[in-house]
Structure 1
Amino acid sequence: MDLKNVNAFIHVAETNSFTRAAERLEYAQSTITAQIQTLEAELGAELFIRRGKRISLSVAGQMFLPYAYQFQALHQDVHAQFSRDTELSGEYRIGILESISIASYMDRFAQFMREYPKVNLMVTIDTTLHLLQRLRNGELSMVWLIDRPVNAADIRVVHESSVPIVFFCAPSHPFATSSPVPIEQLSEVPWILAEKGTNYRWQLEQDLAARHQYIRARIEIGSTSNIIDFVAKNLGVSLLPSYTLKQAIDAGRIVPFQIKGYDMHMQSQFLVFRKRWIPEAIAKLMSYF
């Protein structure tokens, strides 16, 4: 199986377009078409459903995509191990949460990219559930979560550390000067919250429900920066991982507060699929954190 044909398939699958795939790879569109036809003939299956100018993955294409990612990653890792060029290179796919993408952790990604200029990172931002699914499917080599501990037989935790979850409010909010706040008062104020099911929100709601308490979301939104902005405008209180709040706290836009007899931590976890190797480039990247 020719790697160039597999790469062409991946790009067409990601863009849903032969034209955009050709632009990405700097090939003629006819070349991409021929590569896909060769691959389909080799596999004995139609990989795309073609409806005029619109295409989508067929069932066979959906089944083949995880194998294509693994084939690509294995080729890159073998090349890195045996090539005379000792510099790491290749294209690698990882997944992270939205809250990680806006934090100072990105500086370490930048440092890695400066030191390994031939490594290209394809970073997917998604929810815990979807990232784990894509890791299992072979679409991602590594996933970085801030969540409750992941205990799954097919997932290996390469590195983990504790991350405090911080409650915060505007400087003018009553909680700013009455910390620690009695836990009973949490249900008396509006909240600015991430989407329902987000790990730390879920944990808080479960803990409060055990006390027959409930909080009211004034707004639910999937953007960490927007949550901070709404809280800074005194529209409600919220909770987020500590690493997302340093800049806003240092600027005096928000104030952390404590809850009497209650705190929360999540685990920062680098996860890989247990049955797959860890590409050297991914291992190097994880060492930066």
Structure 2
Amino acid sequence: MEIRNLKTFATVCEVQSFQKASQILNYAQSTVSTQIQALEQELGARLFDRLGRRILITEAGEKLLDYARKLLDLEQEAYAALSDESELKGSLVIRVPESLVTNRLGPVIARFHKAHPKVRLEFITCAVMSLKRDLRKGFVDLAFLITNTIVTKDLKVQALAMEPLVLVAGPGHPLAQTKGISLKQLKGLPLVLTKVDCSYRYFLEEPLRKTPGPECPVLEMQSIAGAKKCLAQDVGLSLMPLASVSAELKTGELVQLDWELGTLETAVLMIWHQEKWLSPALKSFMEMCRQEIT
């Protein structure tokens, strides 16, 4: 069983596409297919079911993926043990809310890149639904969430800092000048929310869900920048990290709404799998996060 075939297999599992895997690995698509076929023949089991252009990992493939990740981690560990740690190489895949990249991770990224210029960093925006799975399967090396807690047995979680959350809208919003806004007053009003910073949406959506009244229509944006543009045009209201909107609050493009829950506070969590081998590069990045994100 060749390690390169396992790398290809793990990449196909991650992106769920032979074509995308070939682009990432810089292989011809036929090479990816050949390597997967070689594994299937060697193991005597089908690893993927092909449904038109879609592929789905089989039960046998799921079992192999667990072992493949362990073997690939061992390969990295061996390279690290025999290489000069002053010149780290490799890559890290990190899942993180956009607001953290913009407002808190900047100094970490700059410092890390200066110290380890040959390590490739890939940042993937937040997706809570698949986060635990991706950490367990090794698709992601490290993750961050803006939330109070995450319930799990096999993931390690460290709180790095507290993050204030504020309810904001445009200066022309009907409630912009209202004091002591109740949750009932918010019912039925449009919400501007982001997919990329999904974890803290709960702090607005859950209280509204429990409050009687008409549903709030949701405008879901792909970026915080897009959401802030919509808010400035009085399209709706949103709950956002204070650090993400502090500039707009100062210029008056946005206003902080005075509502019954006030300024909320939640944690910035750093999350990794308890069985994950922490490479020197990953250890270095995590330690810089502990030092810089306070």
Q: If the length of structure 1 is used for normalisation, what is the TM-score?
A: 0.80
Given residue 247 of structure 1, which amino acid in structure 2 is its aligned partner? Answer: A
2:157 counterpart of 1:137: no
CA distance in 1, matches of 2:61, 2:138: 14
Given residue 137 of structure 1, which amino acid in structure 2 is its aligned partner? Answer: K
Q: Give the match for residue 16 of structure 1.
A: 17
5 Å-filtered alignment, 1:37-48, equals 37-48=37-48
5 Å-filtered alignment, 1:207-286, equals 207=207, 212-214=211-213, 216-223=215-222, 224-260=224-260, 262-286=262-286
CA distance in 2, matches of 1:252, 1:165: 18
5 Å-filtered alignment, 1:146-165, equals 146-165=146-165
Name the SS of the counterpart of 1:113 in structure 2. helix
Given residue 95 of structure 1, which amino acid in structure 2 is its aligned partner? Answer: R
Deviates more, 1:252-261 or 1:162-171: 252-261
Name the SS of the counterpart of 2:120 in structure 1. strand
CA distance in 2, matches of 1:194, 1:146: 15
Name the SS of the counterpart of 2:153 in structure 1. coil
Q: Give the match for residue 194 of structure 1.
A: 193
CA distance in 1, matches of 2:188, 2:55: 47
C-alpha contact 2:187 2:208 (8 A) present in aligned 1: no
Deviations 1:48-99 (A, max 9, x none): 34579x5724402344334434432332233123314631111222222344
C-alpha contact 2:157 2:270 (8 A) present in aligned 1: yes
CA distance in 2, matches of 1:27, 1:182: 57
Give how far 1:274 is off: 1.9
CA distance in 2, matches of 1:142, 1:76: 16
Give how far 1:4 is off: 1.6
Residue 112 and residue 31 in structure 1: after superposition, are their counterparts in 2 closer, same or farther (change >3 A)? Answer: same
Give how far 1:101 is off: 4.8
CA distance in 2, matches of 1:229, 1:249: 13
Q: Give the match for residue 121 of structure 2.
A: 121
CA distance in 1, matches of 2:205, 2:20: 44
Given residue 4 of structure 1, which amino acid in structure 2 is its aligned partner? Answer: R
C-alpha contact 2:16 2:55 (8 A) present in aligned 1: no
In structure 2, stretches of 5+ residues that fail to align are none
Deviates more, 1:120-129 or 1:42-51: 42-51
Name the SS of the counterpart of 2:140 in structure 1. coil
Deviates more, 1:214-223 or 1:227-236: 214-223
Name the SS of the counterpart of 1:244 in structure 2. helix
Name the SS of the counterpart of 1:262 in structure 2. coil
CA distance in 2, matches of 1:282, 1:45: 34
Deviations 1:130-170 (A, max 9, x none): 11221123322211111131232222113432111111122
Residue 222 and residue 106 in structure 1: after superposition, are their counterparts in 2 closer, same or farther (change >3 A)? Answer: farther
CA distance in 1, matches of 2:225, 2:2: 44
Name the SS of the counterpart of 1:194 in structure 2. strand
Deviations 1:256-277 (A, max 9, x none): 2333563322211001112333
CA distance in 2, matches of 1:58, 1:68: 14
Residue 221 and residue 32 in structure 1: after superposition, are their counterparts in 2 closer, same or farther (change >3 A)? Answer: closer
C-alpha contact 1:205 1:214 (8 A) present in aligned 2: no
Name the SS of the counterpart of 2:216 in structure 1. strand
Name the SS of the counterpart of 2:272 in structure 1. strand
Q: If the length of structure 2 is used for normalisation, what is the TM-score?
A: 0.79
Taking only the aligned residue pairs, the percentage that are identical comes to 27
Residue 82 and residue 171 in structure 1: after superposition, are their counterparts in 2 closer, same or farther (change >3 A)? Answer: same
Give how far 1:280 is off: 2.4
Deviates more, 1:237-246 or 1:212-221: 212-221
Number of aligned residue pairs: give it: 284
Given residue 189 of structure 2, which amino acid in structure 1 is its aligned partner? Answer: P
Deviates more, 1:161-170 or 1:239-248: 239-248
Q: Give the match for residue 90 of structure 2.
A: 90
